[in-house]
Structure 1
Amino acid sequence: MARTQRWVPPAEGTYKVNYDGAYFVDEEKAGIGVVVRNELGQVMGSLAEKIDMPSTVEVLKALAARRAMLFMEELGLRHAVFEGDSELVVKALVGHCPDQSSIGHIIKDCKSLRSLFQTCSFSHVRRQGNGVTHALTRRARQYFPLTVWMESVPLDITYLVYVDITS
């Protein structure tokens, strides 16, 4: 389980899928953001989704991981490295997570979704390496229930994609 501080491109032919979640406590809602990029850092697709507020941050981050996997399946892409900033969720995805834990049922779903991919791995990234998805989660407040951008991100966060591939 690699731990990076900035966005690192995936191997050729593989897609890096960053995901994140954020609470909107005042609305009792939460946001999920996902961005899919190729080895050149080019965006293949991104999304911002507003959902009902889950009980814990871990549940939110696990839901974001599952949404990232489903988005990749919807895009028809079969080689993925999924990267999120919750170490607990990433550890559960790569190891053993008891079904009775608060995220156990979501992790079980994610593990069954692995069969959709020819290659599938999970890694942890610090928040500094997850800036685009962090911005997308904030954007979910405006886009209800779901907005998808093909081969792009919202114009006002395009600079974050550029920062990732030039730093």
Structure 2
Amino acid sequence: QNKLVHEDARQGVGELVVFIRGYCAELAILATRSLRSIPFTIVHWSLSSVNVVKVNVDDGFILAHRKVCSEVIIRDEYGQILGACSWLTNQVSTVFAAEALAVVCGLRFAYDMGFLLVMLDGDSKSVIDKINDSLEDLSKISALIWEAKEVSKFFRDSRF
């Protein structure tokens, strides 16, 4: 955005839409964090390898309504937003399922956008451990873990 001010650069409609969606997704993430109690942590972004996109996933879960909003932001190695989206899903029974659903949504979105090298970043170490495990998952979220593993096969490289 500084280029618009300092270098009189022009931004295309597509770039503007991606920026606005990213901004809205970040606001949605901040808004949903107040819906659940999370311990405060400081997150440090690290630069990805060249041509690898960072897929950041998060979720907002309302247990009383059994609804989850999955948010995804994809950034390049310079931190520029390449895409952002959110999904609302009903009838989700646990926080664990909500986190797994956010991972699946993030992987699907990265695949739909055509990225081949992805690094997934999310809050749930348990879900990521299950995806990385070579053994079959037998938990209540096994279908979501299986789907995440299947979508991951479409990438040239994926890191969790």
- TM-score, normalised via structure 1 length: 0.66
CA 27–104 in structure 1, closer or farther in 2 if over 3 Å, else same: closer
| Residues 120/67 of structure 1: CA separation in 2 closer, same or farther (3 Å cut) | same
**Do structure 1's residue 37 and structure 2's residue 62 form an aligned pair?**
no
Report the 3-state secondary structure (helix = DSSP H, G, I; strand = E; otherwise coil) of the residue aligned with 1:82. strand
Displacement of 1:53 in angstroms is: 4.1
**Equivalent in the alignment of 2:131:** 93
1:79 aligned residue (86, 97, 117): 117
Q: Which amino acid aligns with 1:16?
A: K
CA distance in 1, matches of 2:102, 2:91: 12
**C-alpha contact (below 8 Å) 2:53/2:74 kept by paired residues:** yes
Q: Distance in 1 between matches of 2:58 and 2:117?
A: 20
- Structure 1 runs not aligned, ≥5 long: 123-167
Aligned to 1:9: 47
Q: Equivalents in 1 of 2:65, 2:143: separation in Å?
A: 26
The structure number with the bigger radius of gyration is: 2
How far off its partner does 1:28 sit?
Answer: 3.5
The one-letter amino acid paired with 2:143 is: H
Tell me, yes or no, if the aligned pair for 1:97 and 1:104 is still in contact at 8 Å: no
RMSD of aligned residue pairs (Cα, Å): 1.7
Shift of 1:7: 1.7
Tell me if the contact between 1:23 and 1:53 (Cα under 8 Å) persists in the aligned partners.
Answer: no
CA distance in 1, matches of 2:69, 2:150: 24
Higher relative contact order (CA 8 A, sep 6+): 1
- 1-structure distance, mates of 2:90, 2:101: 11
Residue 6 (structure 1) shift: 1.4
Q: Per residue, is there more strand in 1 or in 2? A: 1
Percent identical among aligned pairs is 26
Structure 1 residue runs of 4+, over 6 Å off? Answer: none
Q: Does 1:56 align with 2:81?
A: no
Equivalent of 2:105 in 45, 67, 83:
67
How many residues align structurally? Answer: 119
Distance 1:110 1:56, change over 3 A: same
* Mapped partners of 2:103, 2:115: distance in 1: 16
Residue type at the aligned position of 1:100: L
